[in-house]
Amino acid sequence: LRFRLAGYPRKHNEGRVEVFYNDEWGTICDDDFTLGNAHVLCRHLGFVAATGWAHSAKYGKGVGRIWLDNVNCAGSEKSIGDCKHRGWGNSDCSHEEDAGVVCKDERIPGFKDSNIIEVRKLWPEWAACHRAPGYGAVWELPLRVLESSTGFPGSWRGVGTWQAPCVTLGTGQGAQPARAATGRVAGDTSAATGHAGRGSGLLSPHRLFTERQQLNYRLHSVSCTGTEVHLSMCSFEFYRGNSSAACGAGMPAVVSCVPGPLFATGNAHKKKQRQQQQQQGQPRIRLKGGARVGEGRVEVLKSSEWGTICDDRWNLQSASVVCRELGFGSAKEALTGARMGQGTGPIHLNEVQCRGTEKSLWNCPFRNITQEDCKHTEDAAVRCNIPYMGYENLIRLSGGRSRFEGRVEVAVGAGDGDQPRWGLVCGEGWGTLEAMVACRQLGLGFANHGLQETWYWDASNVTEMVMSGVKCAGHEMSLSHCQHHGASLSCRNTGTRFAAGVICSETASDLLLHAPLVQETAYIEDRPLHMLYCAAEENCLASSARLANWPYGHRRLLRFSSQIHNRGRADFRPKAGRHSWVWHECH
């Protein structure tokens, strides 16, 4: 059994309960529903308990089968199947009686979070996929980009086999299905529209390609409005019977994707994007607090001050507008409840309601915030679909106690079908910024430590240094994007013990000084030297204090109060363990 929450409007810990049974998603009827039922279902969904439940399709009517009716749980059962009920598929209910649950916003430790806020759709969440055959689980129907000698993509995977959508010339299909498709795999969807089924320049080479293999068609008459976040939300029809003989009047659908700014390759692309950024000026939207590219708390610039967005009515349409505005694909998840950490400062927007066609979040209807409406515990966040670039295949860790730590090994010379050669990175100059990029490239989150010596992780037969002088700004997606010495290696200590290493973490603290408080409380004080012995021992005084006539005289000090906020998703702890702390007599 698999379970998910669905419906709209809702937050991540509430919704209509849907259960996957006998290869089909269905709902549960609200007859005789109790809080005990909700407790069991919330545990299935990875939450510790339920705080309530909803009847009469509060989160919208589901589709498909109503799998369970007259469910009666005590609340301690391991599975909903252990509770009393009328039997699977035996129900006298309609979807107007679909049950929902409200779970306590506390996860079961170690439970893998897979709940995604979605509107109604026809099958499970599609995988974001780009040049990645086989990406995703076997039951998904993701879009796959098919490589050929002509370089034209456009094929789908059904359950167990790859199958293609048909596009018939002259039927009006084209721009909108391409937008829905490319929103999943490219950044600039507007530039990718209008390429499906138009123009002989695209179709002729592709026809040559399709003649070389037998295609099975699954869908036809795909019709999108352009606001959908994935193709499963468009209207379409299934082919029945002999799918290989289908699509006689048409041919496979084709899309052409244009990379967003972060994924552009080649100087011409990058120069054009730099010009666009200069024309647009300072961006008015950004993502903060996310460990990976394309995820984070949404922050907007208003009246010269960055602030957050309240999660009331936050959904995939609004999240997709944010993602596309930032140069990513459509949204994979619309996150509520400050899942990417709490922001600071003002909360600028509430009840954002985008249609999905807007170029910017600022073009969407929203309500200005009042003090009583929202707190930072309700900050909205997003996870965007990004193109599959394959960067994680060019780096690995070895020798660590877990998959989150180890000596860094990188692949070089992996082009033109050659086997990659694995080597080490020189630890000289290796620090936190470089470790941040390595952890991001590995898909392991944030960097806890960047290590210049790794003699205690000597568990690999890789001994050759292949990269040195690595200097990152911290935002790069791959170590190869950072400055480095290239083929001219220069490393004073070339032994394996001096190879670079990392310790990564899924979550991290994020400290922010409350600057206005420093300004408001700052003052000058003349303080006698005999009261400053501790400050001198801790090197808190200027170097000229050593020449003073102790304990006579005084020093002029700048005094202020400070307040430091932790906006991250982990507690802040000193890097040094307690065993190495030193008791200081001044404290």
Q: What is the chain's pLDDT, residue by residue, as a tens digit (587 residues)?
A: 889 998 877 788 899 999 999 888 999 999 989 999 999 999 999 899 999 999 888 888 888 899 999 999 999 999 999 999 999 999 999 999 999 999 988 888 777 654 444 433 333 333 233 323 233 222 333 344 443 333 333 333 333 345 566 665 333 445 555 555 544 333 333 333 322 222 223 334 444 444 545 677 778 888 888 777 778 778 888 777 666 667 777 778 888 777 777 777 655 555 565 566 555 566 899 999 888 889 999 999 998 889 999 998 898 899 999 999 998 988 988 998 888 888 888 999 999 999 888 999 999 998 876 666 788 889 999 999 988 888 999 999 999 889 999 999 999 876 656 778 899 999 999 999 999 999 999 999 999 899 999 988 877 888 899 999 999 998 888 999 999 998 888 898 888 889 999 999 988 888 888 888 999 999 999 999 999 988 888 888 888 998 998 999 899 999 999 889 888 888 888 777 888 887 766 65
Q: 566, 12, 14: which is closest to 342 by C-alpha?
A: 566
Q: What pLDDT is recorded for position 161?
A: 42
Q: 500, 480, 499: which is closest to 431 by C-alpha?
A: 500
Distances (CA, A) of 59 to 5, 10, 62, 202, 388: 10, 7, 9, 44, 34
The residue to which tokens 């009246």 are assigned: 303
Q: What pLDDT is recorded for position 44?
A: 92
The token pair that represents 202 in the structure block: 């695209």
Q: What pLDDT is recorded for position 332?
A: 87
Q: Could you give all domains of the chain from N- to C-terminal order, each with its CATH number?
A: 2-103 (3.10.250.10), 283-384 (3.10.250.10), 391-505 (3.10.250.10), 513-566 (no CATH)
Q: Are 364 and 352 in contact (CB under 8 A)?
A: yes
Q: Are 360 and 581 in contact (CB under 8 A)?
A: no
pTM equals 0.62
User: What's the residue count for the chain?
Assistant: 587
Q: Are 39 and 46 in contact (CB under 8 A)?
A: no
Q: How far apart are CA 300 and CA 286, in angstroms?
A: 7
Q: Are 188 and 327 in contact (CB under 8 A)?
A: yes
DSSP state letter for 125: P
Q: 197, 126, 190, 186: which is closest to 356 by C-alpha?
A: 190
DSSP state letter for 278: H
Q: How far apart are CA 236 and CA 27, in angstroms?
A: 23
